[in-house]
Structure 1
Amino acid sequence: MTTSAFIASLTTNSSLLALWGALLLHRLLPIPYQLHPLRIWHQVALLVATRVNHPHENYSQRSLAGYLAWALMWLTAFVLLLAISQLVWYPTLLQLTLLWLALDWHHTAHLSQQFNHAYSCNNKDQCRQLLAPHINRNTEVLSLLGLGKAGAETIILSYGRHVVGVLFWYAIGGGIAAILYRLAIGLARVWSPTRAQYAVFGYPAIRIAAILDIVPLRLLALLISCGRNSRTALQGLRQQGEHWHLPGPGWLLVATGHKLALSLGGPAIYNNIKMERPRLGGRITPSALHIAQIQQLITQRLYVWVVVESVLLYFFCGVL
């Protein structure tokens, strides 16, 4: 293939152009967390829950309400996106925009840098303030070491879901699939059963998110396991991979924990109730140095992921 033919094949691959365009736009023009349109989705989800989630009802009724509420919101978004895709003149631009909205690479990296700085300065108040919007557990009762472990887990899972999960579903179904995945993850976050009012109502959203997560997060876990300490990481996956309550995040935490010999998981307090969680990974409690190592490790693997996905989209002519 000549150089001109190769360039022509790139310019006609709309999936690849949308991927690179979205990554570049996300790099140059990231959406501030406070202004992100997905925050509107979260607010709507809370309003819907207040209407249909009734704690006095029995288990089956609350579970059914959870499934129906999830279907109402997600299928409505799905239908609207399909309708919009039929009306736009430039489908590639739509897919680029949807992927740009779904990605959250920049904010996760910024959170990692801010948290690492606060953690290295032993600033517990700032660490709690940074983590509070991203986790459901009580940050006020966490010690500095507990904040380090919570921060490490938050950064790892945020990269997994908000970057790799989005890119994986983009490769499967384009920008629509990517944004629908983020919407599903958002519902699982807002209606998390760790919040007392969603103890039953939120299980459907968690189960669906777990299904959507299992392939991309496990692929990322295997990618993280490659290289130095690969044997230890793979052995950890065999021993602890199925211990976590969610299969995708469990593999990701185990692979990272064993790769860097970090202690992750363990008991956590939600709504002033102590919940037992399996202990994963190694024996070292995460420090500021380890937070930086997590950032570096996952960032390197994300670049590899982008390259591999680009090659696959090039050879398989994309999904658009």
Structure 2
Amino acid sequence: MTTSAFIASLTTNSSLLALWGALLLHWLLPIPHQLHPLRIWQRLALLIATRVNHPHESYSQRLLAGYLAWALMWVTTLVLLVAINQLVWYSTLFQLTLLWLALDWHHTADLSRQFNHAYNRHDKDHCRQLLAPHINRNTAVLSLLGLGKAGAETIILSYGRHVVGVLFWYAISGGIGAILYRLAISLARAWSPTRTQYAVFGYPAIRIVAIIDIVPLRLLALLISVGHNSRAVIQGLRQQGEHWHLPGPGWLLVAIGHKLTLSLGGPAIYNNIKMQRPRLGGKITPAALHIAQIQHLITQRLYVWIVVESLLLYFFCGVL
């Protein structure tokens, strides 16, 4: 293939152009977390829940309400996005915009940097303030070591879901698939069963996320296992990979825990109730140095992921 033919194949590959364009736009023009449209989506989810989630109803009624509410929001959005895609003049730009909205790489990197800085200064109040919007756990009672573990888990899963999961579903079903994945993640976050009022109503949302999460997060876990300590990571996945309550996040936490010999998981307090979670990984409690190592490790693997995905999009959406 000549150089001109190669360049022509790149410029006509709309999926690849939208991917690179969205990544570039995401870093040049990141959407502030407070102004992100997904916050409106979460508020709408909470409003709908107040109307259809009634604690006095039976278990089956609340479970059914959870499925119907999820379908109302997610399926309606799917229909609207498909209809809009048929009407827009330039579909590539539409797909690029949706992927740009779905990605959250910049904010996760910023959270990692700020948390690491505060944790290194032993500033517990700032650490709690940074984590509070991202987790349902009671951060007020966490010690400095507990904050380190919670921060490490939050950063790991945020990269896994808000970057790798988004890119995976973009490769499968374009920008519409990427944004719908993020919307599903947001519903699971808003209706988390760890909150008392959503103990039954939120099960459908979390079960659906467990299904759509499992492939991208496990692929990322396998990618992380490559290189240093690979034997320990594979052994850890065999021994602990299925212990976590969600199969995708479990593999990812185990992989990084054994890769860096970090202790993750363990008991956590939700709504002043102590919940027993399995302990994953190694024996070292995350410190500021380890937060930086997590950031460096995942960033390296993200670059590899993007290169591999770009090659796949080039060959399967461009040349073939």
TM-score scaled to structure 1, two decimals? 0.99
Q: Which residue of 1 aligns with 2:163?
A: 163
Alignment-mate amino acid for residue 209 of structure 2:
A
- List per-residue Cα deviations over 1:160-201 (Å, max 9, x = no partner): 000000000000000000000000000000000000000000
The SS at the match of 2:41 is helix
Q: Which residue of 2 aligns with 1:50?
A: 50
Q: Which residue of 1 aligns with 2:283?
A: 283
Q: Which residue of 2 aligns with 1:196?
A: 196
The SS at the match of 2:27 is helix
Q: Which residue of 2 aligns with 1:8?
A: 8
- List per-residue Cα deviations over 1:249-283 (Å, max 9, x = no partner): 00000000000000000000000000000000000
Moved over 6 A (4+): none
Q: Which residue of 2 aligns with 1:241?
A: 241
Alignment-mate amino acid for residue 292 of structure 1:
A
Q: Which runs of 5+ in 2 are unaligned?
A: none
Distance 2:137 2:105 in 1: 23
Distance 2:11 2:200 in 1: 49
Q: Which residue of 2 aligns with 1:82?
A: 82
- List per-residue Cα deviations over 1:103-147 (Å, max 9, x = no partner): 000000000000000000000000000000000000000000000
Q: How many residues align?
A: 318
1:230 aligns with 2:230: yes
Alignment-mate amino acid for residue 58 of structure 2:
N
Distance 1:243 1:180 in 2: 28
Q: Which residue of 1 aligns with 2:174?
A: 174
Question: Mapping of 1:123-138 within 5 angstroms?
Answer: 123-138=123-138
Q: Which residue of 2 aligns with 1:65?
A: 65
Q: Which residue of 1 aligns with 2:98?
A: 98
Distance 1:210 1:23 in 2: 26
Distance 1:248 1:145 in 2: 25
Q: Which residue of 2 aligns with 1:208?
A: 208
Alignment-mate amino acid for residue 143 of structure 1:
S
Alignment-mate amino acid for residue 76 of structure 2:
T
Q: Which residue of 2 aligns with 1:38?
A: 38
Distance 2:87 2:39 in 1: 26
The SS at the match of 1:201 is coil
Distance 2:48 2:80 in 1: 18
Distance 2:208 2:317 in 1: 29
Distance 1:179 1:315 in 2: 24
Percent identity over paired residues: 86
Distance 2:242 2:149 in 1: 20
Alignment-mate amino acid for residue 244 of structure 1:
W
Distance 2:289 2:234 in 1: 23
Distance 2:76 2:114 in 1: 36
Q: Which residue of 1 aligns with 2:29?
A: 29
Alignment-mate amino acid for residue 121 of structure 1:
R
| Aligned-residue RMSD, C-alpha | 0.4
Query: Once the 2 structures are TM-superposed, how far is the Cα of residue 317 of structure 1 from its aligned partner?
Result: 1.1
Alignment-mate amino acid for residue 225 of structure 1:
S
Question: Mapping of 1:300-311 within 5 angstroms?
Answer: 300-311=300-311
Q: Which runs of 5+ in 1 are unaligned?
A: none
- List per-residue Cα deviations over 1:198-256 (Å, max 9, x = no partner): 00000000000010000000000000010000000010000000000000000000000
- List per-residue Cα deviations over 1:31-68 (Å, max 9, x = no partner): 00000000000000000000000000110000000000
The SS at the match of 1:269 is strand
